[in-house]
Amino acid sequence: MVERHPLGFFLPANAQLLMLGSFPPPRTRWSMEFYYPNFQNDMWRIMGLIFYDDKDFFVEKPRKFSLEKAKSFCLTRGIALGDTGQEVVRQKGNASDKHLEIVTPIDLDEVLEKIPRCQAIVVTGEKAASTLLSILPPMPAPAVGTSEGFEWRGRRLRLYRMPSSSRAYPKPLTEKAAVYRKMFEEIGMVPVSS
């Protein structure tokens, strides 16, 4: 059964950065109606560590993330959120990217047109990376934790490939946060740590 994306894109007018995952988990795993809703996913803990030195900054009790804090943070910091899959088939009915078939990928023209200040795109996992690379001009795939420059319709952008924030990705939270921090430093969204 083909599933359509339930959230649409979150595109603040001031967005400098577009973060793309693959597709939200089934609703039964959501703790809020926003991106990275699964409480087992560490994206909001990574953001909490980088920007507030507190992995629980975005956590509300019991076991949910604060929708208000997450949206306010993205609006203030200029972070757009979306997914590379717009229509998918879950071959096993779960949240695993391994069993996710992308039927309709992102319309990158439509999204980038709405965020003219965007200078970088971040993919947050293997499925997101392979899906986006399939629609970009031929370019080397960045290694995890690195980036490559590319041109899209006369616009220079950087593509960052980050480690997955899923706990299935075998890297401690602090190590993942360090890789994401380096990316935010390069873009100029956080001060370079000494």
pLDDT band at 194 (very low <50, low <70, confident <90, very high): low
Structure pTM? Answer: 0.94
pLDDT (tens digit, 9 = 90+) per residue, 13-56? 999 999 999 999 888 999 999 999 999 999 999 999 999 999 99
Query: Using an 8 Å Cβ cutoff, are 128 and 136 in contact?
Result: no
pLDDT of the residue at 109: 96
Residues paired with 90 in a beta bridge: 100
2-187 folds as Uracil-DNA Glycosylase, subunit E (3.40.470)
Average pLDDT over every residue of 157-183: 92
The pLDDT of residue 99 is: 77
pLDDT of residue 16: 97
Mean pLDDT for the chain overall: 93
> pLDDT grade, residue 110 (50/70/90)?
very high
Q: Is the pLDDT of residue 131 over 80?
A: yes
- Judge whether 80 and 115 are in contact, CB under 8 Å: yes
Residues 6 or more apart from 189 whose CB is under 8 A from it?
Answer: 16, 17, 77, 78
What is the reported pLDDT for 94? 65
- Domain chopping of the chain, boundaries: 2-187
Q: What is the mean pLDDT of residues 136-145?
A: 93
Question: Torsion over CA of 21, 190, 77 and 9, rounded to 10 degrees?
Answer: -10
The answer for residues whose C-beta is within 8 angstroms of residue 105's C-beta and 6 or more apart is: 84, 85, 86, 131, 132, 134, 135
Which tokens sit at 59? 């956590």
| pLDDT at residue 120 is higher than 90 | yes
Please, which pLDDT band fits residue 65 given cuts at 50, 70 and 90?
A: very high
* pLDDT > 80? residue 95: no
* pLDDT score for 91: 85
In this prediction, residues 58-77 reach a mean pLDDT of: 95
